[in-house]
Amino acid sequence: MGILAIVVLPFLIVIIPIIGLIRKVAVYEEFVEGAKEGFQIGVRIIPYLVAILVAIGMFRASGAMDFFTGLLKPGLAYIGFPVDVLPMAIMRPLTGSGSVGVLADLIANFGEDSYVVKVAATMFGSTETTFYVLAVYFGAVGIKKTRYAVQAGLIADLASIIAAVIVCSWLLS
């Protein structure tokens, strides 16, 4: 945990009940009332999360990723894209644990200080796992019809992949 989290979190946790007490709120009763919902939300998310994670898990296990990496490599190498970070670019929007694995692999193969790892880490740090966030947030309130949410999320991801390559070549090399 960063220093900020160490300071901010306890402050936030304490300040809310204090203000509640000052403003004569039945803090314990209200806390329990609100917390009640935690379990239902957790359970409500399950079907959405199962659906998304299973599809992505199968896709990863099938070896399709290697095929797409191989397919995209020549073209991307031609325009100067560091092809070694390609697995990260493909994996990042799909799975959080998968992209951690990719990053760990890259560190093992190229070393922490390598340019490839820095670009991959920038990609990793600059977006969330789109499909996971979508499953959790929409699942929690029971949204099935997502309209243009996936498109918007993936376009933002694509932007961050391209931006990571350009920004790194500008700032880090």
Partner 1 sequence: MLNYIWGGLIVLSFVFALGNDFKDYYSNTYQNGQLREAQLISADQNASAPFKSLLVISTDTLHVLVRPKAGEIRFSDATVLPILWQKIWQESRAKDNEPFRAEIKTWDKQSGNVTITLPEVHFVKLKAITNAAFNTAKTAVELAIGLVGIMAFWLGLMEIAEKSGIIENLVKVVQPILHFLFPDIPKNHPALGTISLNLTANILGLGNAATPLGIKAMEELQTLNDDKETATDSMIMFLTMNTASVQLVPPVTLIALMGVGVGEILPAIILTTVISLAVGVITAKWFAKKHKMAKGAN
Task: Check if the beta carbon of residue 140 is closer than 8 Å to that of residue 41.
Answer: yes
C-alpha distances in Å from residue 140, one per residue of 45, 54, 75, 136? 5, 18, 40, 6
Q: Which of 72, 83, 107, 110 binds partner 1 (CB under 8 A)?
A: 107
In whole angstroms, the minimum distance from the beta carbon of 77 to partner 1 comes to 21
**81, 88, 89, 157: residue in contact with partner 1 (rule CB under 8 A):** 157
83, 90, 114, 149 from 75: Cα distances, Å: 10, 15, 23, 29
Q: What's the rounded Cα separation, in Å, for the pair 164 and 168?
A: 6
Comparing CA positions, the residue from 102, 99, 95, 118 lying closest to residue 164 is 118
Pick 50 or 77: Cβ nearer partner 1: 50
Q: Which of 88, 90, 116, 168 binds partner 1 (CB under 8 A)?
A: 168
Distance CA 101, CA 91 (A): 10
| CB nearer to partner 1: pick between 16 and 77 | 16
Which residues from 51-80 bind partner 1, rule CB under 8 A? 51-64, 67
Q: Output 64 or 77, the one with its CB closest to partner 1.
A: 64
Q: Cβ 10 to partner 1, closest distance in Å?
A: 11
Residue 130: other Cβ atoms inside 10 A: 18
**Looking only at residues 33 through 52 of this chain, which bind partner 1 when binding is defined by CB under 8 A?**
33-39, 41-43, 45-46, 49-52
Residue 120 in 3-state DSSP? helix
Of the candidates 86, 89, 91, 103, which one interacts with partner 1 according to CB under 8 A? 103
Residues 118-147 touching partner 1, rule: CB under 8 A, are 118, 121-130, 133-134, 136-138, 140-147
